[in-house]
Amino acid sequence: MSDAPKSNGSSNKDTLEIVVATDCGSTTTKAIMLEKKDGHWRQTFRGEAPTTVEEPLADVTMGVTNAVMELQELSGRRLIDDNGNIIRRTSRADAVGCDAYVSTSSAGGGLQMMVAGVVKEMTAESAKRAALGAGAIVMDTIAGNDRRKPHEQIQRIRELRPDMVLISGGTDGGDQRKVVEIAELIAPAKPRPRFGGEYKLPLIYAGNREAVAAIRKVFGSPGFDLSVVENLRPTLERENLGPAREKIHDVFLEHVMAHAPGYDRLITWSDAPIMPTPGAVGDILQDIAKRRGMNAVCVDIGGATTDVFSVYDGVFNRTVSANLGMSYSISNVCAEAGMKNVLRWVHVDMDERELRNRVKNKMVRPTTIPQTLEALIFEQAVAREALRLAFMQHRSFATNLKGVQQQRTVGDVFSQQDAGASLVDRMRMDLLVASGGVLSHAPRLEQTAMMLLDSFEPEGFTELAKDSIFMMPHLGVFASVHAQAALEVVEKDCLIVLGSAVSAKGQGKVSKPCFTWSMKITKAGDAQQGTVAPNAAHNSASAHTGTDTLDNSAGTQTQDADASGALLFGDIAQVALSPGAQAQIEVRPERGFDFGAGPGKPVTRTVRGGPLGVIFDARGRPLALPTDLDERRACLHKWIKALRVYA
């Protein structure tokens, strides 16, 4: 019954009540159960097991079965039959099985691609955007102007062993010669895919449509499986990434996954196409941004890489910082950022030599977690630099199209962005989502919030949230079956809204006025979830809330109340606004400080509450720490005390 092939995407969403979703990660396979109860979808149980794609087991379904078995034990519902297959319910009254099963995967290194284009800054960059947006890791970019000699490019292509190659180049109807030359570099190199054997290397051509015949001729030899889709850059002024991304997903399922150990069986289990993990995260972030009509940024910091996703005005971008992580790549973070930049976030004495040994030990034993407060402080300092560098890389990649000549009127001179300007504007960042162990599993929510504020430096009004148990991949693939249900689970169980940050852009003198604020409650919160008590930062940032200031941390139940206050430059303050509550906040900045309407101009916005309430940040942007050691540590102590980061 359960081993019969399923028609992908065939499940009727109206009949679904129990769904099992898995994410096959590089080390761990995570399973969750989603159930419809009293007309509402919730995430109910979670299980995990080691991923089994590598030798000696070399069958990904064994790890999936083990993770689902844990769901079975926790829920009391039988989900696995005697043959190790996932059971499907025959009716709503059936006490065993589920209605649908979906999965994502990044096991075995995920989807690894090479992209190629005529011009590195134009068509090759568009190809890279398409590949990253589809959830791939881009191993290298080959371009006609990448300064490598042809024999060096051919050697590099041979070394890569990608899962597939995406080729782009030329606008429709333009010159064919250059894109054909790129193809003629790849064909004789004969790159061997990771899985070898009878596997034909998939090639996706998304370039000048006039060159299709010539491209087919170049790749006519055995060993290649060529697919042709619409041009990524049909004109210089327009990017068309959708068809290429869809074809990447299709090829990933039909070719790459089909040859990976055990995936042929997993494909028959699934009721929707198996998606690359990052691609699923990107899809659900786009759904969230579209539903709420906002600009959103999400970061997933792992042991080896850090992924950053953004959706601005409906435009999606993703980057992978392949050498920025918290275990396997922790030494790369320290080397790229410099130990001096890491230690600027540390407010206690630490021996640098001992810290370097700690970094090496983390690489040797990547699964260890901090056992002391000092180790935790250092790890979170490294995380700030990894996040900062990853976000810098993302902003430099997520840009307007390059190579476009923009015609301007006098009225456009001060409003139109230049070609190549970053789309990711900190002032327009409405939502910032944290994911990954160091962020999601920080001992205190205040630590997660401070890492986000210090590394991303959001400006104006920004909602802070975290993925509670890293279920965004599961919900991303579930959305392909039932989008409304997936978004309901996102709101209720996935994203924990930490609170809202109100941050001043600009620089000033320490202890001089920065801004005043007033808050009016417009919607009552959930009293059962509670919130932090009003907490003034330093003596200059007193908050007049009508309630006593209590010495409590997140989770203390307190009454939301209209409030007002003032902050001096260099201070940070926290004010109660419980989960589910909303408030209208008016900020009146001093000259030189901006909250989105221009320097010195007042701004009024509605914000949502959370366990951390509202964080008013008057430390300035860009955030500059004092160079003097004693002054810097005094600042850090003040901020840590204000938000009770390590209380």
Residues 232 and 244 sit within 8 Å (Cβ to Cβ): yes
Write the CB contacts of 626 (distance below 8 Å, at least 6 apart in sequence). 632, 635
Q: What is the pLDDT of residue 417?
A: 46
More confident position, 428 or 145: 428
pLDDT tens column, 357-413: 889 988 888 878 899 999 999 999 999 999 999 999 999 988 877 655 433 333 333
**DSSP three-state, residue 373:** helix
pLDDT tens column, 196-233: 556 788 999 999 999 999 999 999 877 889 999 999 99
Tokens representing 561 are 């109340």
CATH no. of 275-403+414-494: 3.30.420
- The closest of 50, 16, 82, 63 to 265, measured between CA atoms, is 63
Residues 525 and 531 sit within 8 Å (Cβ to Cβ): yes
Q: What is the pLDDT of residue 184?
A: 92
pLDDT band of residue 99 (cuts 50, 70, 90) is: very high
**Range name among 125-139, 243-257, 610-624 with the lowest pLDDT average:** 243-257
pTM of the model: 0.85
Q: What is the pLDDT of residue 472?
A: 95
Instruction: Report in angstroms the alpha-carbon separations of 437 from 301, 307, 361, 398, 442.
Output: 7, 13, 18, 25, 7
List residues bridging with 294 in a β-sheet: none
Q: What is the pLDDT of residue 543?
A: 37
Tokens representing 330 are 């922790």
Q: For tokens 């951390």, name the residue.
A: 612
Write the CB contacts of 271 (distance below 8 Å, at least 6 apart in sequence). 6, 7, 8, 9, 10, 11, 100, 101, 102, 481
Tokens representing 506 are 């600009």
Q: What is the pLDDT of residue 260?
A: 77
Give the start-to-end residue ranges of the domains of the chain: 13-107, 110-269, 275-403+414-494, 505-643
Mean pLDDT of all residues belonging to the chain: 87
Q: Does domain 13-107 have CATH number 3.40.50?
A: no
More confident position, 56 or 227: 227
Q: Does domain 110-269 have CATH number 3.20.20.140?
A: no
Buried b / exposed e over 312-332, threshold 16 CB at 10 Å, is: beebbbbbbbebbbbbebbbb
d(CA 166, CA 442): 39
**Residue 253: DSSP 8-state:** I
More confident position, 532 or 60: 60
pLDDT band of residue 428 (cuts 50, 70, 90) is: very high
- The torsion angles phi and psi of 129, rounded to 5 degrees, stand at -60, -40
More confident position, 78 or 411: 78
